[in-house]
């Protein structure tokens, strides 16, 4: 059975259809991302949220064809800028770093510690945009200046290890935006930074997206950060998207009990909630372990016996653009009390 209803076609930078990521484990194949489908339109800002281990980073890495061995990726399709991406190739796809670029939570992992920052930026420009050495250096100074590095010429001569976390993240952002990507994937770009620097990095992302009309896929476990930045939100739980929709609608009227529970952990957003859960008691299933029925059922205040039997499909609700994977959503007669496993 398909876990997702088909999506309408849109003019998209990236289309992901039925993406799954599997790792071998002692108990057999662990499918840690399952049937994930979404698309990112030109210039759109999409947020991907969910608890630790829900599959956010692997979804991003699968798009970038960066799943480490022995992991495997399967998908109906991953389409980048209108072209289907080959799933089984050991070569870096041509669009990585150019059409689609990514920055991660730990900028050291995306910077080469043994290579001066200047070389790392100018190589991107020379390789992908055919800049001359002089042009590339001038552009590198411009880029470092644009991301708020105080003394670009000095930074170009330095190695990543001498910079603070905030400065490294700025350098990673400068490299990521150097080729004006159509989509920037930012995987927890602010988690390791202090609050002031976090705000500055988000401002930079916003400016970059506005100036170059780049789309952004912002990954975070913090719904507050994502809600402030994105037009649309995808909520992941146990490897699946369980709800998606425009930010204002999803925040004001969450359809999935897990989204409701996530919202309670964002104090400034709890005021308008129609129904509250005190906290998300319990923990998600261990990554990739097959669960019968709805993976959220053991933690869900609305669970009924059928939730422990049948896994809800991610379906579009009525004529709206919202999608939800929950038996109770849109069902006015659904009991409001927890039944527990039968």
Ligand X SMILES: Nc1ncnc2c1ncn2[C@@H]1O[C@H](COP(=O)(O)OP(=O)(O)OP(=O)(O)O)[C@@H](O)[C@H]1O
Contacts with ligand X by CB under 6 A lie at 23, 32, 50, 52-58, 68, 71, 221, 287
Q: Which does 107 bind (CB under 5 to 8 A by kind): ligand SF4, Mg ion, ligand X, none?
A: none
Query: In this structure, are residues 113 and 160 in contact, taking their beta carbons and an 8 Å threshold?
Result: yes
- Judged by CB under 5 A, which stretch of 52-60, 141-149, 245-253, 332-340 contacts Mg ion? 52-60
Give helix 133-146 / helix 117-129 axis angle, nearest 10°.
120
Residues 294-333 that bind ligand SF4 (CB under 6 A): 294, 296-297, 300, 302-303, 307, 312, 326-328
Rounded to an integer, what is the distance from CA 56 to the centroid of its chain?
Answer: 5
Q: Which does 296 bind (CB under 5 to 8 A by kind): ligand SF4, ligand X, Mg ion, none?
A: ligand SF4
Dihedral (Cα; 201, 205, 208, 212), 10-degree rounding: 170
Q: In the stretch 173-202, what mask flags binding to ligand SF4 with x, by CB under 6 A?
A: ------------------------------
Do residues 47 and 230 make contact, with C-beta atoms less than 8 angstroms apart? Answer: yes
Radius of gyration of the chain (CA): 21
List of residues 6+ apart from 64 with CB closer than 8 A: 96, 100, 102, 185
Say whether residue 257 binds ligand SF4 (CB under 6 A).
yes
Q: Which residue is nearest to ligand X (CB)?
A: 287
Q: Tell the smallest beta-carbon distance from residue 139 to Mg ion (Å).
A: 31
Q: Which does 297 bind (CB under 5 to 8 A by kind): ligand X, ligand SF4, Mg ion, none?
A: ligand SF4
Nearer to ligand X, 87 or 179 (CB): 87
Q: Does the protein bind Mg ion through residue 244 (CB under 5 A)?
A: no
> What's the CA angle centered on 153, arms 148 and 154, to 5 degrees?
90
Q: Which residues, numbered 129-188, are part of the site for Mg ion (CB under 5 A)? A: none
Minimum distance of Mg ion from residue 218's CB (angstroms): 12
| Interaction partner, residue 32 (ligand SF4, ligand X, Mg ion, none; CB < 5-8 Å by kind) | ligand X
Distance of CA 243 to the CA centre of its chain: 14
Complex with Mg ion: residue 156 or 236, whichever CB lies closer = 236
User: Which residues fall within 8 angstroms of residue 23, CB to CB, at 6 or more apart?
Assistant: 29, 30, 32, 70, 71, 72, 288
Q: Smallest distance from the beta carbon of 226 to ligand SF4, in angstroms?
A: 20
Torsion of CA 186, 83, 77, 29, to 10 degrees: -60
CA distances from 294 to 3, 35, 139, 304 (A): 11, 14, 51, 10
Asked if 312 and 228 count as a contact pair (C-beta separation under 8 A), the reply is no
Residues within the interface to ligand SF4 (CB under 6 A): 256-257, 294, 296-297, 300, 302-303, 307, 312, 326-328
Residues within the interface to Mg ion (CB under 5 A): 57
């Amino acid at each position: 059975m398909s876990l997702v209803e088909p999506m309408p076609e849109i003019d998209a930078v990236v289309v992901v259809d039925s993406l799954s990521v599997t790792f071998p484990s002692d108990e057999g194949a662990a499918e840690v991302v399952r049937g994930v489908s979404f698309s990112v339109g030109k210039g759109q800002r999409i947020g991907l949220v969910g608890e630790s281990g829900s599959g956010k980073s692997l979804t991003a890495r699968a798009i970038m064809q960066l799943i480490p061995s022995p992991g495997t990726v399967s998908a109906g399709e991953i389409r980048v800028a209108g072209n289907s991406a080959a799933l089984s190739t050991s070569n870096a796809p041509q669009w990585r770093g150019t059409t689609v670029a990514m920055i991660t939570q730990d900028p050291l992992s995306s910077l080469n510690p043994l290579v001066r920052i200047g070389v790392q930026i100018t190589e991107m420009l020379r390789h992908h945009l055919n800049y001359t050495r002089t042009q590339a250096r001038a552009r590198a100074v411009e880029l470092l200046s644009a991301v708020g590095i105080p003394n670009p010429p000095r930074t170009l001569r330095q190695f990543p290890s001498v910079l603070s976390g905030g400065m490294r993240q700025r350098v990673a952002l400068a490299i990521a935006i150097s080729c004006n990507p159509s989509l920037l994937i930012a995987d927890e770009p602010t988690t390791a930074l202090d609050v002031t620097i976090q705000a500055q990095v988000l401002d930079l992302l916003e400016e970059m997206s506005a100036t170059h009309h780049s789309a952004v896929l912002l990954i975070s476990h913090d719904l507050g950060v994502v809600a402030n930045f994105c037009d649309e939100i995808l909520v992941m739980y146990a490897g699946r998207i369980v709800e998606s929709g425009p930010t204002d609608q999803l925040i004001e009227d969450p359809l999935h009990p897990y989204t409701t529970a996530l919202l309670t952990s964002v104090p400034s957003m709890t005021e308008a909630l129609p129904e509250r859960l005190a906290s998300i008691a319990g923990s998600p299933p261990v990554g990739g372990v097959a669960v019968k029925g709805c993976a959220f059922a053991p933690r869900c205040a609305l669970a009924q016996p059928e939730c422990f039997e049948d896994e809800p499909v991610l379906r579009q609700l009525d004529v709206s653009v919202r999608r939800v994977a929950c038996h109770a959503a849109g069902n006015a007669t659904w009991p409001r009390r927890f039944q527990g496993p039968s």
